Structures are given as structure tokens and as C-alpha cells.
Structure 1
Amino acid sequence: MSLIVLCAGGHARVVIEALLSRGTRPSAVIDRDSARVGMLIGGVPITGPDEDILKMTIDQVELANGLGNRASRSSSGLSARRELFDRFTALGYMFPIITHASSVVASDASLGDGAQVMAGAIIQPAARIGRNVLVNTRAVVEHDCQVGDHCHIAPGAVLCGGVVVGEGAHVGAGAVVLGGVSVGAGAIVAAGAVVAKNVEAGAFAGGDRE
């Protein structure tokens, strides 16, 4: 079965590297920008637009979400990544779990379809990671945490024990969410923030940082 990466941006390079670390080389990268067709990204050719996938049946190909996000004070920036995942899963296409060879995932941790755990990240016992979640480089998800679908735990972020992160939330690079704290759905935690109390759904936490 072939594996194709969706979108040829910076995050796609990270996804490709994680796959290569496990001995899997994607067959192609798909991107909407037709001018990029024929170029290489991470040594993998860009072959065409999203619609090319529809020429392949669900038993011929698996997909990897290569679309990242850019959060702001008002938005997690994750809607496009979520929409891409939802579009193809609704058609029956599968997104495998991707874990970099240098990541650590506890034996009883749970990862949803399409979850991505990047280089140096750590998922501790009894953690529950939802579908299409990105746990980025050197992030730490401690014991008993629950991370809802479509979240991004950015590079170097730390979720201490028992943290609950709602669907579609963004926890910024280097942020620390203290034990037992809840981060609501769609909330944004600023890079470098220390979060000691619950964050409401859709709210921004972290002062003037973004």
C-alpha cells in the first residue's frame, strides 16, 4: 500500500522525516500548488493536487497530514488541518499513526487515527491522544492526560499529569500546563506561557504572548 503526504509545507518535511526514521518512504506528496509539481520535498516528489488521491481506492493508499498551523490570539489556526483530515476520512481513506523513532510512547498510552508524535516527544502512561493530534518536537504529555481530536501540542510544550485539552486547542511552543488543569476546546495557549488555572473554550491564555 502506498503512503501519500498531504501538503508540501514545512510540517510535511517533519512528517516525512518521522516516516523515514521508521523505514517508511512516502510514495508522493500532494499539493494544491501546480507550480510545485515535479519538485522534491524531503526527497519525495510532489506529484499533483489533492484530487489525484481520488483516482486511488481506499485499499491502495494511506494518507499523512502534512499541513501545520499558525496560531494567533483569536484562533488556533487548526481548522484547515482538521478540514483536510475530515474530508478524506469521510471518503474512507485512512491516516495511520506516525511516531518518530526517537519518540517515547508508553505501552498503555492511546493514540487516535492520524496522530503524529514527532522527534523526541514523550507520551507517558495512561495518556489519551485523539485523532489527527500533532504532538510536536520534544513535547511532553505526562501521565493521565487527555488530548482531544485535532489539537497541536507545539515543540517543547509540557502537559503535566492529568491535564485535559479540548478538541482543536493549540498549546504553544515551550508552554507548560500544570497538573490537573483543563484547556477548553479551541483555546490557544501562548508560547512560553505557564498555565496554572483552567482555560475556557476558545480563550487565549498567556498575556501578551502569541
Structure 2
Amino acid sequence: MSKPVIIIGAGGHAKVLAESLLRGDQTILGFTDPDASATLFEGIPYLGTDAIIFEHRPEEILLVNGLGSVGDNRTRQAMFSSFTAKAYRFTRVIHPSAIISHIEVEMGSGCQILAGALINPGARLGNNIIINSHAVVEHDCRIGDHVHISPGAIICGNCTIDDMAYIGASSTLKQGVNIGKGAIIAAGAVVINDVPSYTLMAGVPAQQKHQLQGGVK
């Protein structure tokens, strides 16, 4: 029997994850949030702040990282790292409508594959990543840890996306491009060349707009 889960956070992304978990008949113990007035869905109780998690032994529960991100993945990364350092585990969340190839696909801890997403053969997905609704990760791509691929983004074959990068909604990565660590690809951008680390790219074709520090302008 699967262990019960605790969702960290109560924002929009946490709601999407809760809905995916409920579709899979996963037992949700509750959710945590700094705001005691926060709510998710009826029947999912508020447990308290994140500190309440430590009342459960790591082997008793699984965690779900309900923190979203808009360009800056550092908060998600810090949350994931702080709990895994104490032996807690983050479970994968895979929406029933996601299509994931059975051929040579690897997924790390805490992967979140949302409604309508497509993962094709040979893809390697790191830890604590979001493949958001209707995003496409084509064959033989390499996606690093703590990456967010936003709704409708298309990652063509043989692309590499380094840790902490953010790929904006409805953007497209041409086959074989490399996206550096902490880079941000703006919504709707079309990337046809490699992108250096900590760079903001926007436009069609995408051009460098800013150099970033730690993933934010």
C-alpha cells in the first residue's frame, strides 16, 4: 500500500497536484502552509506549518512539493533539499492523462508530470522537476534537477536543459540545443542556439535580454 502524502503549499500549483493525486486514489494526509487560513479542496485538511512534517518519521510518509515557480526555481530547490537532507522522500505526481514512453525513460525523485504532457523515448528527467500541462519532451532529452517546463512548451529531440532552468509557456527549443544552468526562456520564445547559464532569452528567434544572478534578474 502506498504511503500517505503531505502536500507542501496551498497555492495554484498545489491545487493542480492535489487534483492529480486524487485522480490516482492517493491518500492525502493534508497540506502545510505558513498561512493558517489557506485551503485546498474540501476534505484535504490543513495540518499547520512545514514544521508539522517532523512529527512524522521519514519512513511513514511521502512529500509533494506544491511550490510553483515563475522564473525562479530556488525556493522549490531549497524546499526539496532541506527535507531530503533529513531523509524525507518526495513522491512523483503523474496525471493519468500524461503520456510517458515505456522505452528508456528515467525519472528522478519528486518528478511532476501534469495533464496532457508527453514524454518520448530516451528522455532523462532529473529530481524535483515540473513538466507542466501539455508540455512535450521529445526523444533523448536530458532535463536537469529543479527545472520547470511550463504549459505548452515543446522541447525537441536531443536537447539538454541544465539544473534550475525555467522554460516559459508555449516556448520551443529546436532539436539539439543546450540550455545552461539557471537560464530563463521567456514565454513564446523560439530557441535555435545554445543558451549560456543564467541568461534571460526572449523573442522569435530568442535573443539574450539580460544576464541573471542565481536565476533571477
TM-score bracket for this pair, using the shorter chain length: over 0.9
- 1:32-74: per-residue Cα shift (whole Å, max 9, x none)? 12343xxx41231222000000111011111000000122xxx
Instruction: Trace 1:61-140 onto structure 2 (pairs within 5 A).
Output: 61-71=61-71, 77-107=72-102, 108-140=104-136
Note if 1:9 corresponds to 2:11.
Answer: yes
Q: Which runs of 5+ in 1 are unaligned?
A: 72-76
- Percent of residue pairs bearing the same amino acid type: 38
* Distance of 1:100 and 1:2 partners within structure 2: 17
The yes-or-no answer on 1:199 pairing with 2:195 is yes
Distance (whole Å) between structure 1 residues aligned to residue 180 and residue 27 of structure 2: 36
2:29 aligned with 1:27: yes
**TM-score, normalised relative to structure 2:** 0.90
* Structure 2 counterpart of 1:2, one-letter code: P
| CA distance in 1 between partners of 2:178 and 2:100 (Å) | 22
What is the CA–CA distance in structure 1 between the aligned matches of 2:41 and 2:164, rounded to whole Å?
28
User: How far does the alpha carbon of each residue in 1:142-193 deviate from its partner, in whole angstroms, 9 at most, with x for none?
Assistant: 0000000000000000000000000000000000001000000000000000
Alpha-carbon distance between aligned partners in 2 of 1:130 and 1:95, rounded to the nearest angstrom: 13
Q: Does 1:189 align with 2:191?
A: no
Partner of 1:41: 40
Aligned-partner Cα distance in 2 for 1:7–1:163: 31
1:166 aligned to which of 144, 162, 166: 162
TM-score by length of 1: 0.93
Matched residue type, 2:142: Q
Deviation >2 Å, runs of 4+: none
Instruction: Give the CA RMSD over aligned residues.
Output: 1.3
Q: How many residues align?
A: 201
| Cα shift readout 1:85-142 (whole Å, capped 9, x = no counterpart) | 1010000001111110000111121110001000000110000000000000000000
Q: Tell me what 2:212 maps to.
A: none
Gaps of 5+ in 2: 204-208, 210-216
RCO comparison, higher one (Cα < 8 Å, 6+) = 1
Say if 2:57 is the partner of 1:57: yes
Whole-angstrom distance in 1 between the partners of 2:18 and 2:110: 14
- 2:73 & 2:191 partners in 1: Cα distance? 21
Letter in 1 for 2:140: D
Q: After TM superposition, give the deviation of residue 26 of structure 1 in Å.
A: 1.2
